[in-house]
Amino acid sequence: MLKLISAGMTVLFVAGSSLAYAQAPGPLQERLSAADLSALTDARITLVKAALQMTPDQEKYWSAVEDGIRSRAKEREARLTAIAARVDEMRGKSVMEILRDRNPVEFLHRRADALAQRSAGLKKLADAWQPLYETLRPDQKRRLSLLAVLVLHEMRGEVEQRRMQGGEEDEE
């Protein structure tokens, strides 16, 4: 179990630090290619699957979960690409030009649409997890909960880092 936690922490550290670069539009984002992001998704899937140590009966539910995880990763990559495109559009413009061209109502609509899409994707993932989760033993649920806490902790750190850099407004 200690080896599994250690391996999990290593994957989360490597994936989390790399994703921090991916979330910053511009030159840092270019460090991660689509293949890099795919490899990170594969590593996360492998980690969760290894942590669960599923029985053959539980394995039949795994493909829906894996598809859900991959779908969310693709949606995330599309969001990052859209953010980078908007940042590229603003490059070369003065602050006054950017402020003059900004429409706060359009921004709120874009933000609401983005949150609705993320919500729908998360709901699909939760629906994919439900049948598998119902078959998990208590020890498997504990390991899954531990991984979830670690991932949420990493996400909170990345969001806080983004806020500190002042990029939250242009995130979506």
Q: What digits encode the pLDDT tens for the residues 140-165?
A: 999 999 988 887 777 777 777 766 76
**Whole-number pLDDT of residue 134:** 97
Residue-wise burial string across 50-83, b where 16 or more C-beta atoms lie within 10 A, e elsewhere: ebbebeeebeebbebbbebbeebbebbbebbeeb
Q: Which amino acid is at 50?
A: A
Mean pLDDT of the chain: 79
Query: 51-103: per-residue pLDDT in tens?
Result: 999 999 999 999 999 999 999 999 988 888 888 888 887 888 887 877 777 88
**Whole-number pLDDT of residue 12:** 47
**Whole-number pLDDT of residue 120:** 95
Q: Which helix (H) or strand (E) holds 134?
A: helix 104-135
CA nearest neighbour of 168 among 9, 25, 12: 25
**Whole-number pLDDT of residue 107:** 87
* Band (169; pLDDT cuts 50, 70, 90): very low
Using DSSP, state whether 148 is helix, strand or coil.
helix
> Cα Rg for the chain, rounded, in angstroms?
18
CB-count exposure of residue 112 (10 Å: 0-12, 13-18, 19+)? exposed
Contacts of 77 (CB under 8 A, 6+ apart): 34, 37
